[in-house]
């Protein structure tokens, strides 16, 4: 029995020492310590050992079993350490090498336009207000003098939700929410994203950005509205920018106007915003007395102004996130 144990121990030590992969370690474990392994079979041979020698033989076999288990575990740890060192070496970085220039981030042209317009309106005393993009029909239509039977609802292709709400089609609902909770004077701009159920092409998209602005006080005039629009246009597009206003129609303003500018390099006039004096019915819907206060409101699309400013001819470019396009700004 002693000779057999010594032979298995020497064989196991040589076999384990020759292992070069973790899979080989597992193979040797099964060979010597598995259910049908060489050490396991030694226990079965104990029945052939004289009774007086069995205790000592059992101790020797258990010692052999522990020895083989230990050398297997030690070899496994060494192989795992070597494998980890190899992996770390392959992933190491030579900090002495020059870095790769990934370039600097750019402000998106829409945000650039928005920030500049907000700064201009701030200089005129306007504060910023925000509202939800998912609105009730009351705030998006009814309170703005657009009841359910009003043909003006057909002017805006609306996304209706299953719960009866809508994706707001303009930022004008913010005007109503502010006036419901604040007494005049109120001078607010409301920038934000709006949605229209329109076909996507080079000049229209299913979402875009607006700046709604309004001012309500006891003595607000149409002439003041024209002065504000003239100031904003010339601050943003340049002092020499030509612009004109012409009559228009919006259900929430009366009288209403649209404003066009002459863009350098373009032929003809380009419409950039709509505006007008807030309709008395809208003032009544928020609890204001049209006999005591008046107001004006205006709204402009950020995408259109951005495209005119930078000569962009396809609105889809603003949403493609193509770095080759954005890097130009």
Which pLDDT tens digit goes with each residue over 255-271? 999 999 987 767 788 89
Contact in structure between 158 and 139 (CB atoms under 8 Å)? no
| Residue 98 resides in a domain | no
75 and 177 together in one domain? no
180 and 254 together in one domain? yes
87 and 175 together in one domain? no
- Residue whose tokens read 């949605």: 195
Q: What are the two backbone dihedrals, phi and then psi, of residue 135, each rounded to the nearest 5 degrees?
A: -120, 165
Q: What does the alpha-carbon distance between residue 20 and residue 236 come to, in Å, rounded to a whole number?
A: 72
**Pairing status of strand 166-167 against strand 294-301:** unpaired
| Residue 147 resides in a domain | yes
| Residue 104 resides in a domain | no
Q: Among 18-32, 42-56, 106-120, 290-304, which is the least confidently predicted range?
A: 42-56
212 and 262 together in one domain? yes
pLDDT, one tens digit per residue, over 161-174 is 888 899 999 999 99
| Residue 186 resides in a domain | yes
Give the tokens for residue 97: 């090498």
Region for residue 97 given its phi and psi (left: phi exceeds 0; alpha: psi -120 to 50; beta: otherwise): beta
61 and 114 together in one domain? no
pLDDT, one tens digit per residue, over 191-209 is 999 998 888 888 888 899 9
118 and 261 together in one domain? yes
**Pairing status of strand 186-195 against strand 269-278:** unpaired
| Residue 119 resides in a domain | yes
Of residues 35 and 121, more confidence is placed in: 121
Q: Helix 302-310 crosses helix 109-123 at what angle (to 10 degrees)?
A: 110
3-state secondary structure of 293: coil
| Mean predicted lDDT score pLDDT of the chain | 88
Q: What is the DSSP letter of 93?
A: -
Q: What does the alpha-carbon distance between residue 67 and residue 118 come to, in Å, rounded to a whole number?
A: 78
60 and 152 together in one domain? no
166 and 261 together in one domain? yes
Q: How many residues are recorded in the chain?
A: 329
How would residue 179 be classed by pLDDT, with cut points 50, 70 and 90?
A: very high
| Per-residue confidence (pLDDT) for residue 2, from 0 to 100 | 77
Q: Is the pLDDT of residue 54 over 80?
A: no
**CA 70 to mean position of chain CA atoms:** 54
| Residue 219 resides in a domain | yes
How would residue 57 be classed by pLDDT, with cut points 50, 70 and 90?
A: confident
Give the tokens for residue 153: 């609802």
Q: How far apart are the first and last CA of the chain?
A: 86
- Residue whose tokens read 């003041």: 224
Average pLDDT over residues 91-111: 82
- Greatest pairwise CA separation for the chain in angstroms: 121
Query: Which residue in 169, 165, 167 sits closest to 153, CA to CA?
Result: 169
Residues 322-329: contacts with CB within 8 Å, 24+ apart? Answer: 326/106, 326/108, 326/109, 327/103, 327/106, 329/106, 329/107, 329/108, 329/109, 329/112
Q: Is the pLDDT of residue 3 over 80?
A: no
Q: Is the pLDDT of residue 228 over 70?
A: yes
CATH number (domain holding residue 302): 3.30.930.10
Average pLDDT over residues 53-59: 79
Average pLDDT over residues 28-32: 87
Q: Which of 91, 117, 138 is the last residue of a domain?
A: 91
Q: Which of 33, 62, 91 is the last residue of a domain?
A: 91
- Residue whose tokens read 């207000």: 129
Average pLDDT over residues 87-99: 82
141 and 261 together in one domain? yes
What is the Cβ-side half-sphere exposure of residue 196, based on CA atoms within 13 angstroms?
16
Q: Which of 91, 121, 145 is the last residue of a domain?
A: 91
| Residue 103 resides in a domain | no
Q: What does the alpha-carbon distance between residue 255 and residue 277 come to, in Å, rounded to a whole number?
A: 6
| Per-residue confidence (pLDDT) for residue 85, from 0 to 100 | 87
| Residue 235 resides in a domain | yes
43 and 190 together in one domain? no
| Per-residue confidence (pLDDT) for residue 116, from 0 to 100 | 95
Kindly list the distances between the CA atom of residue 61 and the CA atoms of 38, 129, 248, in Å, as whole numbers in the listed order: 11, 84, 103
Give the tokens for residue 43: 């226990």
149 and 274 together in one domain? yes
Beta-bridged to residue 69, according to DSSP, are none
| Per-residue confidence (pLDDT) for residue 154, from 0 to 100 | 66
What is the number of structural domains in the chain? 2
181 and 57 together in one domain? no
Query: Which residue in 177, 204, 235 sits closest to 301, CA to CA?
Result: 204
Q: What percent of the chain has pLDDT over 70?
A: 97
How would residue 272 be classed by pLDDT, with cut points 50, 70 and 90?
A: very high
Beta-bridged to residue 160, according to DSSP, are 166
């Amino acid at each position: 029995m002693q000779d057999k144990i010594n032979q298995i121990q020497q064989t196991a030590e040589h076999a384990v020492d020759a292992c070069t992969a973790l899979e080989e370690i597992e193979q040797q474990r099964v060979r010597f310590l598995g259910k049908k392994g060489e050490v396991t079979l030694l226990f079965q041979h104990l029945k052939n050992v004289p009774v007086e020698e069995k205790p000592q033989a059992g101790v020797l076999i258990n010692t052999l079993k522990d020895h083989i288990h230990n050398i297997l575990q030690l070899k496994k740890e060494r192989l795992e350490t070597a494998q980890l060192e190899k992996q770390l070496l392959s992933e190491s970085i030579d900090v002495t090498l020059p870095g790769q220039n990934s370039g600097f981030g750019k402000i998106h042209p829409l945000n650039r336009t928005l920030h500049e317009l907000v700064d201009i309106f701030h200089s005129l005393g306007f504060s910023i207000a925000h509202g939800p993009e998912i609105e009730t029909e009351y705030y998006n239509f009814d309170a703005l003098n657009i009841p359910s039977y009003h043909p003006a609802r057909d002017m805006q292709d609306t996304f209706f939700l299953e719960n009866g709400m809508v994706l707001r089609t303009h930022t004008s609902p913010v005007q109503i929410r502010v006036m419901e909770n604040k007494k005049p004077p109120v001078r607010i701009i409301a920038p934000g994203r709006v949605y229209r159920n329109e076909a996507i092409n080079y000049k229209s998209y299913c979402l875009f950005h607006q700046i709604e602005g309004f001012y309500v006080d006891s003595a607000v005039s149409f002439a003041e509205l024209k002065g504000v629009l003239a100031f904003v246009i010339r601050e943003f597009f340049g002092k020499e920018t030509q612009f004109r206003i012409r009559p228009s129609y919006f259900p929430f303003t009366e009288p209403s106007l649209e404003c066009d500018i002459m863009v350098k390099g373009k032929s003809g006039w380009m419409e950039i915003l709509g505006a007008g004096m807030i309709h008395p019915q809208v003032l009544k819907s928020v609890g204001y007395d049209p006999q005591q206060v008046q107001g004006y409101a205006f709204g402009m699309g950020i995408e259109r102004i951005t495209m005119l400013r930078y000569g962009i001819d396809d609105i889809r470019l603003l949403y493609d996130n193509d770095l080759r396009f954005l890097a130009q700004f």
